[in-house]
Amino acid sequence: MLRNDLVLRAARREKTERTPVWLMRQAGRTDPMYLALRKQANLPQEEMFQNADLATQASLLPVRLGVDAVIIYQDILTLLTPMGMPFVFRPGPRADKPLSTSEDIDRLRGLDPASDMTFVGDTIHQVRQSLDGEMPVLGFAGAPLTLAFFMLAGQSPWPNAEQPLKALEAAPQDIHRLLKKLTDATIDYLAFQIEHGIDAFQLFESVADILTPEQYATFAHPYHKRIFTELKGRIPGILFAKEQTNVELMVDSGADVLSIGRCLDLAECQRRYGDKVAFQGNVDKTIVAGGTLAQVDEAVHECVRAGNQHGHILNLNHGLLKDTPFENVKRVIEAARHASRKPALETI
């Protein structure tokens, strides 16, 4: 039993006494205590991820800010190392060489999280022990197409997406073969996290905003659907598809919660689809990064009103930007917790 189960109740489309809040990238980047932890550890980031004690400390840092859920400190690329394509962070993610041939796909190994990723299980266990039922623990994974883009680029696909996008057109059969392997690995990885005690998970399709509608429907959506179908009913699943406008396809994925961007109107999404899915989002990260405290308050309160405290988890439209003032990060959480409890919309 959790003492604070607001996130899980919202994920079940329940009306909540206040809108729960957590933030993508809340454990890192902007937090001076995280930066101090990184400096003290004096380790490359990929080694931080593999050290359960350090990963636990980083995961728990946002608790002091008043968030309603903790997400484990890892990276979406973590599962690629045991598959045979390790990434290091210098400072951004880089592989020795991009994946470029059919033979490269053949050489990728299957994933056995129980032997390959014990540190993830240990981190979840330690975070749960430390929280002692205080709030939910969230797990996550990168969606197959996002992982494929990193592999094909050999680095972050922003702004290096030219080669991955060309590959979708030039070698679709190879891409689908790669995506099937990555989907199998992602299902196994998320099932492993569930077995170790996460309360909900988020699937990150971080390249959704650079895809055409046809590419999203062909190379992203079918694999989302398979992942959520395989894991359905175990714990709530959240789909984050960065600034994706096709809500119908997102609903069809089978996710319990859709994390939506600023390209969509939250109140309208609630009105049209709130009987099918819950929603997460969608405060503009650029306002949080560059706005005044008053502007942050306004953005948060507008989002709370649109979500109507019914099946809504407050978050950003994407992860915190690196240059976001920490005072603004704290203000988002404070504003969410103290927003008016009088809903502005009709109850769904």
Q: Is residue 175 part of a domain?
A: yes
Note the pLDDT tens digit of each residue in 87-101.
999 889 999 999 999
Q: Is residue 168 part of a domain?
A: yes
Answer for the pair 339, 304: CB distance below 8 angstroms, yes or no.
yes
Q: Is residue 8 part of a domain?
A: no
**Phi and psi angles of residue 190, each rounded to the nearest 5 degrees, phi first:** -70, -40
Residue type, 115: S
Query: Containing domain of residue 221, as a range?
Result: 47-66+70-198+200-235
- Least-confidence region, from 145-159, 215-229, 300-314, 331-345: 331-345
CATH of the domain at 105: 3.20.20.210
Answer for the pair 201, 237: CB distance below 8 angstroms, yes or no.
yes
Cα separations in angstroms, 321 against 43, 113, 205, 259, 284: 22, 31, 17, 17, 11
Q: Is residue 230 part of a domain?
A: yes
Residue 347's pLDDT band, with cuts at 50, 70 and 90, is: very low
C-alpha angle 101-107-109 in degrees, rounded to nearest 5? 135
Note the pLDDT tens digit of each residue in 112-129.
999 999 999 999 999 999
Note the pLDDT tens digit of each residue in 25-76.
998 889 999 999 999 999 999 999 999 999 999 999 999 999 999 999 999 9
Mean predicted confidence (pLDDT) in 137-159: 96
CA distance 250 to 279: 11
What is the pLDDT of the chain when averaged over all its residues? 95
pLDDT score of 345 more than 80? no
CA distance 290 to 308: 26
Q: Is residue 92 part of a domain?
A: yes
pLDDT score of 17 more than 90? yes
Residue 340's pLDDT band, with cuts at 50, 70 and 90, is: low
Give residue 159's pLDDT.
87
Residue 307, classed as helix, strand or coil, is helix
Total structural domains within the chain: 1
CB atoms within 10 A of CB 75: 16
CA distance 53 to 48: 9
Note the pLDDT tens digit of each residue in 265-309.
999 999 999 999 999 999 999 999 999 999 999 999 999 999 999
CA distance 160 to 156: 7
Q: Is residue 266 part of a domain?
A: no
Q: Is residue 333 part of a domain?
A: no
Give, for 141, the enclosing helix (H) or strand (E). strand 137-142
Q: Is residue 28 part of a domain?
A: no
